[in-house]
């Protein structure tokens, strides 16, 4: 089903029937990135994981809308056939918000990141997005200027982002400083600390803690009612049984960063290099924890999106 984007946008959006019906009814919808399909696990495990993540959103009480790019259109929700095609087709590129216009104009396929998914979600009128872990300020950014576009997009797109914090390989202190400087609210759900992906805590306190989904929904809407242009970051740590010990991961990251430096790995390639090195060092535990974070966060995202939809109904919106 092809539906024009809101606000007279010329960007063609293609909604699945399930997502279109939910949005028309004011039911909760959670946007998801497709990068985890194309750049995560090998086929067919990547397709199976994508379906588990969508099922987790449904378990939380919302409709999943996995975002993708295909033939000059933005897919707002993927059919089972779309997921299978993206999972089994090699070479589909990762597309961030910077690259979105060029890829759409070229008519090529692309997998969305956090940043580009937020652009698409706002165009589609989806106020909630879920991801395992966001990008942030990289270690050594004071000399490399390596800062994830995720952080910039949070200041531009009116979408609430539910995640398990930022990846442990980043400079999490500077990431929180960046978010504070750019007035992006950070709300911890059921935790005092800012989590670190598959580690339950980064060792840093979260600026705010709210444990009631209804209060979080009210805070999100109030942030936008105040005239703020960007989103709200909501963090929830992974389950204790799925978490990895902070010290084990930190030692593996330090070794991997030294290896990346010695091998001349630079820019965006560093993240993949370090994540794979950490997975080897933890004998596969980090990859399994990554999958668990994806699924758990998706369920939390569904739960919070459902609370937000209830609030809007109660308020007559």
- Residues involved in catalysis: 33, 167
Assigned token pair, 115: 């940043």
Which strand (E) or helix (H) includes residue 316? none
Q: Say whether 278 counts as a known binding-site residue.
A: no
DSSP string, 145-182: --B-HHHHHHTT---EEEESBB-TTB-HHHHHHHHHHT
Q: Say whether 9 counts as a known binding-site residue.
A: no
- Which residue carries 């999958």 as its tokens? 291
| DSSP designation for 131 | -
> Cβ(163)–Cβ(132) under 8 Å?
yes
Q: Say whether 150 counts as a known binding-site residue.
A: yes
- Which residue carries 């028309």 as its tokens? 24
Q: Say whether 315 counts as a known binding-site residue.
A: no
Q: Say whether 11 counts as a known binding-site residue.
A: no
| DSSP designation for 263 | T
Q: Say whether 293 counts as a known binding-site residue.
A: no
As beta bridge partners, residue 13 has 3, 74
Instruction: Classify residue 87 as exposed, middle or buried by CB count within 10 Å of its CB (0-12, 13-18, 19+).
Output: buried
| DSSP designation for 268 | T
> Binding site for substrate: which residues?
94, 114, 148-150
């Amino acid at each position: 089903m092809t539906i024009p984007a809101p606000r007279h946008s010329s960007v063609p959006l293609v909604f699945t029937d399930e997502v279109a019906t939910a949005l028309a009814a004011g039911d909760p919808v959670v946007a998801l990135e497709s990068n985890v399909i194309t750049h995560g696990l090998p086929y067919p495990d990547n397709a199976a994981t994508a379906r588990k993540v969508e099922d987790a959103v449904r378990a939380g009480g919302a409709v999943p809308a996995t975002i993708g790019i295909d033939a000059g259109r933005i897919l707002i929700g993927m059919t089972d056939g779309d997921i299978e095609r993206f999972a089994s087709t090699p070479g589909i590129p990762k597309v961030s918000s910077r690259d979105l216009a060029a890829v759409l104009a070229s008519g090529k396929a692309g997998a969305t990141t956090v940043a580009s998914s937020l652009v698409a979600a706002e165009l589609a009128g989806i106020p909630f997005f879920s991801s395992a872990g966001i990008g942030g300020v990289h270690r050594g950014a004071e000399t490399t200027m390596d800062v994830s576009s995720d952080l910039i997009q949070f200041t531009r797109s009116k979408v609430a982002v539910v995640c398990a914090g930022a990846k442990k390989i980043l400079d999490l202190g500077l990431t929180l400083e960046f978010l504070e400087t750019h007035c992006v609210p950070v709300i911890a759900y059921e935790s005092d600390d800012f989590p670190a992906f598959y580690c339950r805590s980064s060792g840093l306190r979260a600026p705010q803690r709210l444990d009631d989904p209804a209060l979080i929904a009210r805070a999100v809407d109030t942030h936008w009612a105040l005239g703020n242009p960007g989103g709200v970051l909501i963090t929830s740590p992974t389950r204790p049984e799925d978490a990895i010990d902070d010290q084990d991961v930190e030692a593996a990251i330090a070794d991997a960063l030294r290896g990346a430096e010695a091998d001349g790995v630079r820019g965006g390639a560093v993240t993949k290099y370090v994540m794979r090195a950490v997975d080897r060092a933890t004998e596969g535990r980090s990859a399994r924890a990554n999958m668990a974070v994806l699924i758990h966060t998706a369920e939390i995202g569904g739960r919070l999106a459902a609370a937000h939809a209830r609030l809007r109904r109660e308020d007559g919106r």
